[in-house]
Chains A and B, each alone.
Chain A
Amino acid sequence: MGWRLVAAIALCVSALIYFDDSPRLEPARRVAVDGSSWLLSLAAGPGQILGAVGDYFRSRDSLREDNERLVQENLVLQARTQRLASVLSENARYRALLNSAELVQDDIMVAEVVSVVADPAHHLLVLDKGARDGVYAGQPMLGAEGLLGQITMVGEHSSRAILISDASHAVPVQVMRNGVRALAEGTGSIGELLIRHLAATTDIEVGDVLVTSGLGGRFPPNYPVAKVVDINLRPEAAFASVRAKPLASLDRGRHVLLAVAHTESAAP
């Protein structure tokens, strides 16, 4: 048993030290992500089949209602997109006039949530798109209402994403109303973000919307993140403690959007 024990301990210790960070172990991480998503999707299979059977037997009327609603929503969204396109081009002109260094134009890729990771201490999703589809580690993940999180590990055919509510995640934000910058940290609770270390005199109010600030270069600026719900301001404390509720529904929905940021140098 001697050599087996030594081999086992060596394997454990090296996995503990090197697995998460070593660039040489990237192929092993990809295999791990793909293998675990296969297992997780297998485990989620029976539930999905039940859901699919339920969908199949949905009444014709409810499908017709859905269709009507979606057609209307689509019309509204198309109209908004047209307006947005003109605003974007106008914005690009202004940026060019200001000799701004770079223009950011975002493409969107749709991915399906295959499963959630088993440990409730983590807020991790498994997605069905991987390196083969152009997904990369650090890619921002969005929902219909706002920022959801980012990709942490990528496999060939699948990837793993962390939600903004995970206790190990933080996102640089700014208050949309006045541009005050802060860092919104996950708390491990699905409906809550926390902003610590905000000076007690800072101008921030309940109801303020926080958007990504773009600092750090990870998230593109101006994506909505959360809404301030509570400000704890004690006179003796140097910092205010602000709680915010994520705008996106972090624990709902089967599809997410992955933003592909294209950065181009603007003409001087």
Chain B
Amino acid sequence: MTVAHARWVISASLMLALIIYTVPMPRAFAWFRPELPVVVLMYWVLALPHTAGVITATLVGICMAILQGNTPGALSLGLVVSVLVLLFTYQRVRQFDIVQQSITITLLVGVSLIIERVLLLSAGGVVAEGYVFLAPLPLTLLCWYPVRAILRGLRRYYEVR
């Protein structure tokens, strides 16, 4: 249909991912919460690189940081770097099979989390001790397949271009 339509579906899916991301859960499990909004963002960048890009990544990063109680900007910069890598390589990543894609996306999420941590540490923010900040990665890896399947269905149904 139209580009405006595309933006509606993209925004709605990102908003839903943010809501699911903030569902309260016991503190012990919360460390393993997958980075769902980032995975959704990566899908849209991969599928529609001319519509979703670094600006979308910045906004998603700011929203996530505010919801997490972190200083906004750190995660955004991490996401901008990851999305930039994906924008340069999206044609190749599209040809990957599902396992390779899952690993690539998870690595990019990991890179953005590492950049966020370094920036927060240098800004004097509070971060978790040790490598526990990477705990969301295993479930993020498992997330890619269902997220890709659902969003691909939505994209085709609403003819998002």
Contacts and interface: CB of A to CB of B under 8 A. Distances in A.
B154 interface: no
Contact of B69 (A7, A19, A117): A117
A168 B121 CA distance: 12
A215 B24 CA distance: 35
Contacts, number: 113
B76 A11 contact: yes
B90 to A, nearest CB: 12
A231 interface: no
Interface in A5-50: 5, 7-9, 11-17, 19-20, 32, 35-36, 39-40, 42-44, 46-47
B23 A1 contact: no
B71 interface: yes
B129 interface: yes
Size bracket, chain B contacts: 35 or more
A4 interface: yes
B72 interface: yes
A40 B68 CA distance: 10
Of the four ranges (under 10, 10 to 19, 20 to 34, 35 or more), the interface on chain A belongs to 35 or more
B27 A120 contact: yes
Contacts of B55: 4, 7-8
Interface in A164-196: 166-168, 188, 190
Interface stretch (B4-12, B14-22, B94-102, B139-147): B14-22
A8 B58 contact: yes
A9 B77 contact: yes
A119 B35 CA distance: 11
B123 interface: yes
B109 interface: no
A53 interface: no
B13 interface: no
Contacts of A237: none
Contacts of B31: 120
Interface in B107-161: 119, 123, 125-129, 133
B30 A120 contact: yes
Given A5-B54, A122-B69, 14 more contacts: A1-B54, A8-B54, A8-B76, A12-B76, A16-B77, A19-B72, A39-B67, A42-B19, A43-B22, A44-B24, A47-B23, A118-B21, A120-B30, A121-B127
21 contacts: A1-B54, A4-B55, A7-B55, A9-B77, A12-B76, A13-B77, A16-B73, A16-B74, A16-B77, A16-B123, A19-B71, A19-B73, A20-B71, A32-B66, A36-B67, A39-B18, A43-B19, A43-B23, A120-B30, A122-B70, A188-B128
Interface of A: 1, 4-5, 7-9, 11-17, 19-20, 32, 35-36, 39-40, 42-44, 46-47, 115-122, 124, 160, 166-168, 188, 190, 251
